[in-house]
Structure 1
Amino acid sequence: MIAAWLFKREICEYRGADLNKGFESYIEKRDLGSEGFGDLLACIRNSNILLQNTIHFVTYRNNLNKILATAYLREPWKMGVHKRRGVVYLDVHKLPERPKSEVERKRCYWGYSFENLATENSFSDDGRGIDANVEFCSVIKTKLGAHRIVMGAEMDCCDATDDGRRFYVELKTSRELEYHTVEAYEKEKLLRFWIQSFLAGVPYVVVGFRNDAGILVRTERLRTKDITQKVKAKNYWQGGVCLAFADEVLCWLYGTVKENEDYVLQFVHPFNRLELLRAQSPCPEAITLHVQQLSGAAD
């Protein structure tokens, strides 16, 4: 069953919408740390997924996004790695960020504003009350190579076929393309769009292109499976390379980490290798409580 806001198809005809509307009342996203992971683990417990199936990894999609993208991009990231009862839990670690300028905050808001504009039953049409902390999370069982994964993934909205079958849609924003920005867009943004959508089986990405004033210029609907073909001739990146790299990382990780021990996996400057370090802090309480409750359910 798919639960999310409904995609507003007429967004593809919108021109000139002001994505700045509602910025003054916008509630920015809070960093919940492991609290958010606890919500995902509670959902997994309630469904008995781990008791009924062999699962190797539990994670949010964001961690897998980082691993797959590292095949081509050089950006820093860290994640917690905790092996309990044969399952490796990948916890999101947010790197320190410098405070955003007003312009950067607005650019971030334009993405949420476009999501609001492109969905039914969300916030008010003028953007008042947009809260970046309100989201839908889908829990997905998937495989990458030989490893079975349970993954939590935030979903923007859903659409439906003529016979009523629902499917998810990713919503993205980007600065309108110019001749000198197309290459960077196809090398980096399309790579990120494809990874995020492919991992969760999302068939469509809708991109809202805006100008520097935050005005919606046009929209483009992309089929996820066509994105790799779009860049194939230019040899910017290949989806198969990302998947093969991630498979190698997961094989190495699962075979290296020890039961009941805690690590940090990181890719940081000088960006020439992945590092697996023993963690200096204990296992997050959310994971410890989760494992304890699973043990009680199995007894």
Structure 2
Amino acid sequence: MNEAAFDIQPVNRFGGSNTTIRRPKEIACFSYDQQRRFSLGDSSIAYYYPPSLPADLNIGFDTFQKLNDAADEHLDALLDTIVAMEKETGKKCETDIVTWRGMMTKILTAPFDMMNGFEMNATCYQGTIFIEENNTYKNRQKELQKNQRMPPGMASQELMMYWGYKFEVLSVLHKTWDECTRAEIEGRQNEVVNNSAQYCSVVKTGMGNVRMVLGGEVDAVWDCKPDRKDDPINWVELKTSAEIRSDRDMIKYERKLLKFWAQSFLLGVPKIIVGFRDQQGIVHRLEELETASIPGKVKKVGRGTWDGNICINFAAEFMEWLKQVIQGDGVWRIRKLEKSHVIQVYKVEESGHGDILSSAFKTWRESLVGNDCTMDGV
């Protein structure tokens, strides 16, 4: 099948019974340092420690060391981490889907995010579908967003993006609090903001009959990672949002909560800390949200702009359908146009796997052919 389409609407057909969900469990991790150098392990892990309020998110904008992410990193870091894990365990990671958390967020939120589009590349290899973002599309969208004219009195897109990174710097420590000096804790306001460093969690999870391995950045841990690998990790996601002053603001915030929830739900992040800021970029208050409770609150006390159950059922059904469409050799494009209610899947390369899979990953996997080695439960 070289071309197929999946209708998002009507979304109410995805209501009803709950899809079985496999709780995300971390199976590996990797880090980027401030020079964007990759390493296995948790060297870039951060620890949550509340910022002092009020917090001015504008400070340091002129010294912002912004990551240039125009280059296509594909799935390389995620695949390198999977290879290292397989070498360590002696078992092959058997799963249906391998992708970044960001790609699954776009799919999970699609039923209630009609305005935005996306483009992804996908290929099937050894029975697993590997999905990456289409880098050309990503860069084009970033350029459009950068050039977007803001209403009078509103900060630029660049500055508002910086506010988010600044809030993260003000809210984390690079060691546990008992290992930090008072000067380190109180000096976070003067720290140069660099968004190259990241801790990335690799989790096994699943929806319905679809097993997934997802990689994604985690902002911080509430306390510390448990010694027992089977114990859940108290991750924290850090977000900023404008103060809510009207019904319109409330609807806007509720729609933001859809993405907040989806991102955290997919990696098993139990808590989200939201810093509410004014139009000048000053955070005056914090709010702690339990990820699992967000859909219920939106349904019961919000404006009901989205339904988490529908999102999960939709994603499970779409991914099950995708498994039937993307088979055999070649590269596919997964595309949703802006304001469209259809996800298109079509073949763009008849053979090979494009650049989605690194040569190192393919070489390693080919060396396993014939070996009876599978990782249980992934």
Matched-pair contact (CA < 8 Å) for 2:121–2:132: yes
Distance of aligned partners of 1:228 and 1:222 in 2 relative to their CA distance in 1, 3 Å threshold: same
Q: Please name the residue that 1:29 is paired with.
A: 67
Q: Please name the residue that 1:227 is paired with.
A: 294
Matched-pair contact (CA < 8 Å) for 1:23–1:127: no
- 1:271 paired with 2:324, answer no
Q: Please name the residue that 2:85 is paired with.
A: 47
RMSD: 2.5
Matched-pair contact (CA < 8 Å) for 1:68–1:243: yes
Q: Please name the residue that 1:183 is paired with.
A: 251
Task: Return 33-42 or 113-122, whichever deviates more.
Answer: 33-42
Matched-pair contact (CA < 8 Å) for 1:34–1:92: no
* Among candidates 97, 103, 117, match of residue 156 of structure 2: 103
Q: How far has the Cα of 1:88 moved from its partner?
A: 0.2
The one-letter amino acid paired with 1:119 is V
Aligned pairs for 1:1-299 within 5 A: 3=42, 4-8=45-49, 10-11=50-51, 14-31=52-69, 33-35=71-73, 37-48=75-86, 51-74=91-114, 75-94=116-135, 95=137, 96=140, 97-98=143-144, 100=146, 103-121=156-174, 125-160=188-223, 166-180=233-247, 181-186=249-254, 188-233=255-300, 234-279=303-348, 283-285=353-355, 287-289=357-359, 290-298=361-369
- Separation in 2, partners of 1:272, 1:225: 27
- Separation in 1, partners of 2:283, 2:191: 18
- Separation in 2, partners of 1:30, 1:145: 37
| Local SS of the residue matching 2:62 | helix
- Separation in 2, partners of 1:99, 1:266: 19
| Local SS of the residue matching 1:160 | coil
Higher radius of gyration, 1 or 2: 2
Structure 1 unaligned residues grouped into runs of 5+: none
- Separation in 1, partners of 2:251, 2:189: 34
| Local SS of the residue matching 1:107 | helix
| Local SS of the residue matching 1:255 | helix
- Separation in 2, partners of 1:92, 1:171: 23
The one-letter amino acid paired with 1:154 is E
User: What TM-score does the superposition give when structure 2 sets the normalisation length?
Assistant: 0.72
Q: How far has the Cα of 1:270 moved from its partner?
A: 4.9
- Separation in 1, partners of 2:71, 2:342: 26
| Local SS of the residue matching 1:126 | helix
- Separation in 2, partners of 1:50, 1:104: 47
- Separation in 2, partners of 1:268, 1:286: 22
- Separation in 2, partners of 1:58, 1:33: 21
Task: Return 278-287 or 289-298, whichever deviates more.
Answer: 278-287
User: What TM-score does the superposition give when structure 1 sets the normalisation length?
Assistant: 0.90
- Separation in 2, partners of 1:283, 1:50: 25
Matched-pair contact (CA < 8 Å) for 1:209–1:218: yes
Structure 2 unaligned residues grouped into runs of 5+: 1-27, 30-41, 148-154, 176-183, 371-378
